[in-house]
Amino acid sequence: MLTRRYDDAFLLAHTLHRAQQRKGSEIPYIAHLMSVSALVIENGGDEDQAIAGLLHDAAEDCGGAPTLAGIEQRFGAGVAAIVADCTDAWETPKPAWRARKEAYLSALPGKADRSLLVSLADKVHNAESILADHRAIGEALWTRFTGGREGTRWYYRALTDVFAKRLPGALTERLARATTGFGG
């Protein structure tokens, strides 16, 4: 069962991301964080991993290292380590998109399985959202993404390859299906 720690993490995630929306939509960003956390839980993750699912974008999008330090203080080193492993940028403005994604991909195979599950849940939810949006609005979708159509497709193909080797199973298969569906 999830404890009050999870409740506290949910409140923190909502507080940090309250003013954010998903790319190109009016969907509150917390919906993504809830979905990632749910995927983690549904695929065998423990409470620390579920909390990290809620907070996986907090350092990247809401304050960098100081935010991560606050997460560690409130939720422990295990949660903070997973959040750090899911973070691809620590500064604002973020480094160039392609270089950031290449660095993330090159580091991903060396990450702990605990972190990989959270990262995979994040990428699955993103890919399935991209697929749904692609079906709804077509090629206009790609203008939302810094990497455009080709860069986004490249990134998700590369992610699928890494996860297939490191964390094979049903969740990785969902990533592969979604990525193939939007042209990956």
Phi, psi at 95, each rounded to 5° = -60, 170
Is-contact 39 27, C-beta < 8 A?
A: no
What's the pLDDT tens digit per position in 101-127?
999 999 999 999 999 999 999 999 999
* DSSP bridge pairs for 28: 21
What DSSP line would sit under 91-116, residue for residue? SSSPPPHHHHHHHHHHHGGGS-HHHH
3-state secondary structure of 169: coil
The token duo for 129 is: 């959202």
Taking the C-alpha atoms of residue 89 and residue 177, their distance in angstroms, rounded to an integer, is 27
User: How many other CB atoms are there within 10 angstroms of residue 40's CB atom?
Assistant: 28
Q: Which CATH number fits domain 4-181: 1.10.3210.10, 3.40.50.20, 3.20.20.70, 3.40.50.300?
A: 1.10.3210.10
What's the pLDDT tens digit per position in 36-92?
999 999 999 999 999 999 999 999 999 999 999 999 999 999 999 999 999 998 888
